[in-house]
Amino acid sequence: MTTTLGARAPSTLTFTQKLSRLDYKASPYLYIAPFFILFALIGVFPIIYTLNVSLYDWHLLKGQGDFVGLDNYASVLADPFFWNAFGNTISIFLLSAIPQLIFATVIAAVLDQAIRARTFWRMSILLPYIVAPVAVAVIFLQIFNQYHGPIAGLLELFGLDPIRWSFDVFPSHVAIASMVNWRWTGYNALILLAAMQAIPRDVYESAALDGATKARRFWSITIPMIRPTLIFVVITSTIGGLQIFTEPKLFDGRTYGGGDKQFQTIVLYLYELAFPRRDFGRASATAWILFIIIILAGLINFAISRAIRTGDAKPTRIPRVRPAALITPTRNGRRA
């Protein structure tokens, strides 16, 4: 009670004053409440509830059974199909995240230049992101048709054997990763572009006066100055990549990641456990294992990014602009 407002004796306040004081104190919480209420309902509660389910023998249709402790976790970790899904997920993730980030950075750097019809180009790169994943899948399934696709036609032209896109492990990962890349490269490019736009132009100008080439300016100015955003993009891509579901599901809609599980990802494995196989307990355990894997991946990312920072000889004194933070909420659960 040391503020000027509180210093007055409460009894002397009129009703309107009381109301206005309440408004002053409570309103901010009310304004932010919807997010937290929603988050608690559709974020926290399912996570905790999943933990509960994962400790029981839980049949999808028949419901809760006996308490089994960590048995579900043990059986998932002992299941070769889980490790198959884990390997596929990592493989698809690497095949998508790495080219995606490289291309996104390059595209952003190009769009950061003074080019004609800038807005048009910037809008265009976001176009793939707007297209529904189902439509993307229809297009890519045509391209990656082992027998009739354009790639098959091209290979035939050169007398080469067709690539068994949906049967062989690696080609199927490439096909799925290309869907992911097509959809997300432009999106990431826009985020990186926003970060690049925030770099003061005079830094480039003085570097140019000092004789730095374009490439040198890109490596020594652009990249270090967008690093926080790069880290953000890497982390969100990791989360999205590990949760990949839609693309492999649509790649062969009748199976849960290929007839021989060639491209079954962790979430598809989870889905198969939960629905056709009706083992909700083990599916929930898988969800938690994935959750832990994502946290671990996040920590590794964090550690690497710290290492990069400390490894940097000259500590940058550039204001840490984080335009990407504005976009954060929509990134939650991408690709889910």
Give me the residues that bind other proteins (CB under 8 A), please: 42, 45-46, 49-50, 53, 60-64, 79-81, 132-134, 147-148, 164, 166-167, 245-246, 249, 253-255, 259-261, 271, 274-278, 280, 336
* End-to-end Cα distance, the chain: 48
Nearest distance, CB of residue 176 and other proteins, angstroms? 15
Taking alpha carbons only, the member of 195, 233, 189, 220 closest to residue 321 is: 195
Nearest distance, CB of residue 279 and other proteins, angstroms? 11
Of residues 48 and 123, the one with the C-beta less far from other proteins: 48
The residue ranges of DSSP E strands in the chain, in sequence order, are 56-59, 63-67
Provide φ and ψ at 67, rounded to 5°.
Answer: -75, 130
Nearest distance, CB of residue 265 and other proteins, angstroms? 12
Of residues 183 and 217, the one with the C-beta less far from other proteins: 183
Nearest distance, CB of residue 133 and other proteins, angstroms? 8
Taking alpha carbons only, the member of 118, 283, 252, 299 closest to residue 196 is: 118
Nearest distance, CB of residue 254 and other proteins, angstroms? 6
Nearest distance, CB of residue 52 and other proteins, angstroms? 9
Of residues 34 and 63, the one with the C-beta less far from other proteins: 63
User: Which DSSP state fits 9?
Assistant: -
Half-sphere exposure of 45 (CA within 13 A, CB side): 7
Of residues 148 and 201, the one with the C-beta less far from other proteins: 148
Of residues 19 and 37, the one with the C-beta less far from other proteins: 37
Of residues 58 and 232, the one with the C-beta less far from other proteins: 58
The rounded distance, in Å, linking the Cα atoms of 66 and 245 is 30
* CA 157, chain centre distance (Å): 38
- Please list, in sequence order, all residues whose beta carbon lies within 8 angstroms of the beta carbon of residue 186, skipping any fewer than 6 positions away: 104, 107, 124, 125, 126, 127, 128, 129
